[in-house]
Chains A and B, each alone.
Chain A
């Protein structure tokens, strides 16, 4: 059996799962102390199910801790960046486009050195030992321990990043080093930003992971534990200390993946209705559709793989005004349980409307018996229209699509939606995030620029797929369940030798031993 835990900004959800079956679930407010919150969640599900800790084969945790740290500029370490690019590239030094406040927190320790490669894999310049040693000595003198390394075209040739990291390791043995080619894709500015954020989260990641580990040890749970990442795949807990930035968008991803498992539907649009907002995302073959554009995390431009999510201001606590014509984006949020009419408060919310129109039973129904029937009807329609419009923006075509409703606010939807071919509100929908974490897969991704005049396309595809498979296996995937999740091929215009960028991601079920 596995336990999935989702530590959100407001709520911590947990589920105990036997295969794909939910045995029991738990939901509570998130505690400030990570260790305490996880212990409470573990105790709740283990006691509820009457299961011994020894029966747990894996624990999967989703967390928004690292995203929030970047957004709030809290708990980030001072971090140095060494970019190998000279003599090219000096016009746009590292962190050139960072917001001032976060650049100051991270410390503006930016260095450029000779090195990096051209598009064809040939070096721009060789690494200069004297130059690099001086940079490392300077970083050591500043007592900066978290270090990001980037190099031009490192996704095609990582040699120089690796040489630099070895040299750093020699001089600063306990350095926390992030190499850009392991984190981002082509686009050195965005990839290097990703490596910088990742390195600056290193200390925090150590603390969070060790707190998670202590929590499990205290409850005698002696099994591997994993952290879920942006694309719905898992990292082993040892990886999280090295790649915390890869968790940035795991919350919405887990809710999408959880919805797929709960409903048994792999191609659908998922609406996750919370207290203040709703997230609309699209499932394609069981995985979230990815965003096409660059993603800003706390104002820093990155090129992480992230799900394409539309967030709208409608939730279970949204205010209802103008006789039901106008709803949200203002919300009473988690104060719903005090301020909503049915809970004894005096604010008309969407939850009160859902009780009044009979779609759910919470709180005291008598308190809304005086509501105007037309107002209830209008508000009900407005809620459905808002959700319909959001789905319409996200769905892949004009065809009605299956809609899966999850999240605590799913009770708002009681009628047919114009955009929906079918409407599914699965059991346990309120803990879809934790379920998504529990069933996440593991993956491996490899990206190269290839020249089809030098290597045949089929050969290139095969070679890169094999490399991605090896990566997935080393991340913990069961070899027999591997499948290619994504092949992205971008031709490079204006080039004479049939150059293309090929990126392949392979995923598989987590191997349990």
Chain B
């Protein structure tokens, strides 16, 4: 079994910011917190989903709310572990391992340091293989896990137990709770057996994000330089395919809040041909990329954007006129290719009137 220590966190955060497809918020606070706690409690043990025994009881852990809140209301050492402890207390079940919601932004690191603090393994995998805006889009519930009972805790150790009929209702409830409880809450949810974890988790994503982050951080500089290596990494992974979609500058970026999410568009202009433009549709994350009339990538495939000169991933909330960026399309893992997964993650699930065409079928 592998371990992950404080020295790996910078790389993990850089890689997770890339896979966050524009969402996930500023990873700096969670990076500091993880580095500090992994130094204090020692490295976390990583366990691949395939190694999880049947009789294990695994709970998913992370934060839900507005990432901006974490910039001001810094975490305590106890709050994330508090939700997990309360979960054990309320359900009377002993937790054997923790699995991250998503490998994107701060939620990639919280399960690691809580695992280190509790002396439990953390699953090397997650429920999205990227970041997505809503709870029902996690592979856990798509493949049979029930999101509740869930324990939602704020930074004052107030907690609420949610019991919801399905993942859609859970999403509505937990978001309302987050707003009520200071804008950001920790949540322990999706209790699963070992066999459910093996079936529903996207494997190896924590290690993979760390490798990608290392590549981007060590090489730095122009994205063009590391592109061949980046392509090799993704080509050999479960994502399978990566394509360079566009290089250009940001012409316009507009967002407004609709129904509690950031919704908007961004327009990019090609360096080679000023008439060639890419339009991006955003709901917290980059969802659909269009060049002219043609859709070049869409959810659940990943649309990842980096600053061209620094290779740093670019969050949607930081996108501004004049930035020079490279856009990549990355295939989603097979977990999102099934009819039940596509039903909750394809463009129509976000209200776009268009069919999902897998990245590899678009020329």
State the A residues within 8 Å of B (CB): 85, 87-92, 96-97, 116, 118-120, 124, 152-153, 186-189, 289, 292-294, 301, 393, 396-398, 452, 490-501
Contacts and interface: CB of A to CB of B under 8 A. Distances in A.
Contact of B74 (A92, A301, A393): A92
A493 B261 contact: yes
B73 interface: yes
Contact of A496 (B64, B71, B76, B179): B179
Contacts of B66: 119, 492-495, 499
Interface in B127-179: 133, 155-156, 175-176, 178-179
Contacts of A398: 271, 274
B36 interface: yes
A397 B249 contact: yes
Given A90-B77, A91-B75, A496-B176, 13 more contacts: A87-B76, A88-B155, A91-B37, A91-B74, A92-B29, A116-B72, A116-B73, A124-B73, A492-B69, A492-B257, A493-B66, A493-B262, A495-B179
Contacts of B274: 398
A494 B261 contact: yes
Interface string B305-324: 00001001000011011110
A262 B155 CA distance: 55
Given A493-B66, A498-B257, A292 B320 contact: yes
A153 B69 CA distance: 9
A92 B322 contact: no
Interface of B: 23, 25-26, 28-29, 32-33, 36-37, 64-69, 71-77, 79, 133, 155-156, 175-176, 178-179, 182-183, 249, 255-257, 260-262, 269, 271, 274, 284, 309, 312, 317-318, 320-323
A64 B144 CA distance: 62
Given A91-B77, A97-B32, A119-B183, A491 B256 contact: yes
Contact of B29 (A189, A492, A501): A189
B317 A491 contact: yes
Contacts of B249: 396-397
Contact of B73 (A89, A293, A493, A494): A89
Contacts of B33: 91-92
Given A88-B73, A91-B33, A189-B29, A494 B156 contact: no
A292 to B, nearest CB: 6
Contact of A491 (B28, B262, B312): B262
B182 A186 contact: no
Nearest to A185: B71
A89 B309 contact: no
A496 B176 CA distance: 7
Contacts of B271: 398
A491 B183 contact: no
B179 A497 contact: yes
A188 B323 contact: no
B69 A119 contact: yes
22 contacts: A87-B155, A88-B73, A88-B156, A89-B73, A89-B74, A89-B155, A91-B79, A92-B29, A116-B72, A119-B68, A152-B73, A187-B26, A188-B71, A189-B74, A292-B323, A294-B28, A393-B309, A491-B257, A493-B67, A493-B261, A493-B284, A498-B257
B322 A91 contact: no
Given A119-B66, A189-B74, A491-B257, A496 B322 contact: no
Nearest to B23: A493
Given A490-B68, A493-B23, A188 B257 contact: no
B210 to A, nearest CB: 21
B322 A396 contact: yes
Contact of A119 (B23, B176, B182, B269): B182
A188 B269 contact: no
A116 B178 CA distance: 19
Given A118-B182, A186-B68, A398-B274, A493 B74 contact: no
A188 B23 contact: no
6 closest cross-chain pairs (CB), A and B: A89-B74, A88-B155, A493-B262, A496-B260, A496-B179, A91-B75
Contacts of A188: 71-72, 74
A467 B158 CA distance: 37
Q: Which of A189, A396, A397 has the most CB of B within 10 A?
A: A397
Contacts of B71: 186-189
Nearest to B314: A292
Contact of B255 (A294, A491, A494): A491
Nearest to B178: A494
Nearest to A87: B156
Contacts of A119: 66, 68-69, 72-73, 182-183
Nearest to A86: B76
Nearest to A294: B28
A500 B76 CA distance: 25
A34 B93 CA distance: 70
A92 B75 contact: yes
B150 to A, nearest CB: 17
B179 to A, nearest CB: 4
A410 B267 CA distance: 37
A84 to B, nearest CB: 11
Nearest to B274: A398
Nearest to A153: B72
Contacts of B183: 118-120, 492, 495
A189 B64 CA distance: 21
B62 to A, nearest CB: 13
Contacts of A88: 73-76, 79, 155-156
A118 B66 CA distance: 12
Contacts of B321: 396
Contacts of A189: 28-29, 32, 71, 74
A90 B76 contact: yes
A189 B32 CA distance: 11
B266 to A, nearest CB: 13
- Which of B33, B176, B249, B257 is packed against the most chain A CB atoms within 10 Å? B257
Contacts of A89: 73-76, 155
Contacts of A397: 249, 269, 322
Contacts of A493: 23, 25, 66-68, 257, 261-262, 284, 317
A96 B36 contact: yes
B72 A187 contact: yes
A496 B299 CA distance: 24
A491 B256 CA distance: 7
B257 A499 contact: yes
A187 B73 CA distance: 9
A107 B138 CA distance: 47
Q: Identify which of B25, B256, B309, B322 gathers the most chain A CB atoms within 10 Å of its CB.
A: B322
Nearest to B156: A87
B102 to A, nearest CB: 13
Contacts of A492: 66, 68-69, 183, 257
